[in-house]
Amino acid sequence: MSKKSFIAQERRNMKVKAKSFEAWKVIMITLVFLSYCVGMMPGEKAQAVYDKYLDNGIFGMAFFFVLVGFGIGIHYHKKFINLNKKNYLEFLGKKLGILYPLYMIMQTVFLILALCSHPGSQEIKTLIVKYIISIPMLQAMIPKAGYYMALNPVSWFVSAIFLIYLLAPVIGMLAARMKRDLKRSGLVIAGLIAVYIIVAGPLADAMVLKHDMPYLFLMNLILFCIGVWLANFRLNIRIETDRSAGRNLLTGAELVVLVAAVLIYLGTVGKYGIPAALLRLLLYVLIVMVFSYDGGMISHIFTLSPFGILSSMVFDFYLTQYFVIRYIGTPIQKRFGESSKDIVVSIILAYIINWCIVLVIKVIKKIYRKLRYRVSSFAGDLGADGVVDDYLDDGYEEIDQTNINTEAYDRSRLDPMAVEITETEDE
């Protein structure tokens, strides 16, 4: 298989998994949303549970930017290689066409509500200045308290996304044009990881913008770059395909998410010491190498899916805690272990909340399908010859049995990627 056809196939395979990828974004946004519920818990015990397990918005935001970087790197890979002014403006138009009007409506509503509270003349001037500053959506880089969150905290998040979208095509172009130089691309990824681990933790106390939002934006920008470079690196790795199983030995998007997650799943990993962070990274590499191959029950338990990643995190937590605390035993490393437990519980809670939402949506869709079926039966339009609705969990498209053989269809029920590979072979 040529490199060009391999990349095309990988892009198709990753599109199949886009829904689970988007689900991870929803989970991380859920963490961000829960972090804004501070002060809303009834009672001290509920507040203590919230402080320990639910208030992890910075972690969710950081993971979200890695996912955004990887998704953009996959989806716009072809356009980034041949980046020009037209492609750049099309990218910004697509990303900001809906975002900016909604953002300005939000800011205007907040300004009106603030003015309705009858502020003093000086406060009115400050509100108007903040509103004007927020119009170009650049406030995330203003190193002044009260201005980088102009009028409301959400404006900082939108501003950070806007600034990253401005830089994304250039970052994507630099990554995509390294397509034939995997060694150099790998060195860039390693360098970005090193910068994040070192700067995000031990050197944070020496930075002028420590704990300020511009500093947080720079950290998220590094994570976004890691996501983009990982996407390009993954698209260009030549991995032999197991035709009999109808799947790649190492799957795409989830593997990259697993590798990227280690950087941030303890929040700022460098904060608790570089040796511990490197130990966790090494353990993750070993887990990926051992459990990513299709070799039996264990590999299915540790599948690179949302559940599999959570399983790996729990497994990794206990293994790391055992070695680090028992054989190193420093107070810093103990804090490292306790932090990992809090983060894992936070993700599980967010995952449960997201799963409940998905479950409700699935029930509604199922009811809708039954109603549609009855209506079509009543109208005399029951079914079409040779068409089977494949109502799997992820809601795949209708499959025409006249165009694929029964064996391939049966295999696709177990592994949706099998249909993609069968179609590629037919082409």
Which one-letter amino acid corresponds to residue 420? E
Contact 183, 240 (CB under 8 A): no
Residue 375 vs residue 367, higher pLDDT:
367
pLDDT of 94 above 60: yes
- In this predicted structure, what is the pLDDT of residue 103? 84
Least confident of 50-64, 103-117, 272-286, 361-375: 272-286
**Mean pLDDT of the region 131-137:** 83
**DSSP strand pairing (399-400 vs 387-388):** antiparallel
DSSP state, residue 247: E
SS3 117: coil
Residue 393 vs residue 105, higher pLDDT:
105
How buried is 118 (Cβ within 10 angstroms: 0-12 exposed, 13-18 middle, 19+ buried)?
exposed
- In this predicted structure, what is the pLDDT of residue 375? 59
**Mean pLDDT of the region 297-304:** 36
- In this predicted structure, what is the pLDDT of residue 338? 45
Contact 423, 8 (CB under 8 A): no
**DSSP strand pairing (241-242 vs 247-248):** antiparallel
Q: Mean pLDDT: which of 3-12, 242-251, 291-300 is highest?
A: 3-12
Burial 8-42 (b: 16+ CB within 10 A, else e): bbbeebbebbeebbebbbbbbbbbbebbeeeeeee
Q: Mean pLDDT: which of 12-16, 81-85, 364-368 is highest?
A: 81-85
- In this predicted structure, what is the pLDDT of residue 407? 41
- In this predicted structure, what is the pLDDT of residue 357? 56
Nearest partner of 265 among 160, 190, 346, 198, judged by Cα: 346
Distance CA 288, CA 259 (A): 8
- In this predicted structure, what is the pLDDT of residue 313? 46
Q: How many percent of the chain have pLDDT more than 90?
A: 0
74: confidence class by pLDDT, cuts 50, 70, 90: confident
Q: Mean pLDDT: which of 90-94, 316-320, 333-337 is highest?
A: 90-94
pLDDT in tens, 159-197: 888 888 888 888 888 888 776 667 777 788 778 877 776
The residues, ordered by sequence, that sit 6+ positions from 29 with a Cβ below 8 Å of its Cβ are: 60, 64
The residues, ordered by sequence, that sit 6+ positions from 274 with a Cβ below 8 Å of its Cβ are: 197, 198, 201, 202
pLDDT in tens, 385-401: 433 333 333 333 333 33
22: confidence class by pLDDT, cuts 50, 70, 90: low
Counting DSSP H helices and E strands in the chain, the numbers are 18, 4
**Mean pLDDT of the region 15-40:** 63
Q: Mean pLDDT: which of 79-93, 257-271, 367-381, 385-399 is highest?
A: 79-93
Residue 108 vs residue 323, higher pLDDT:
108
21 φ, ψ (degrees, to nearest 5): -65, -45
- In this predicted structure, what is the pLDDT of residue 344? 52
**Mean pLDDT of the region 1-8:** 58
- In this predicted structure, what is the pLDDT of residue 41? 66
Tokens encoding 92: 């910004």
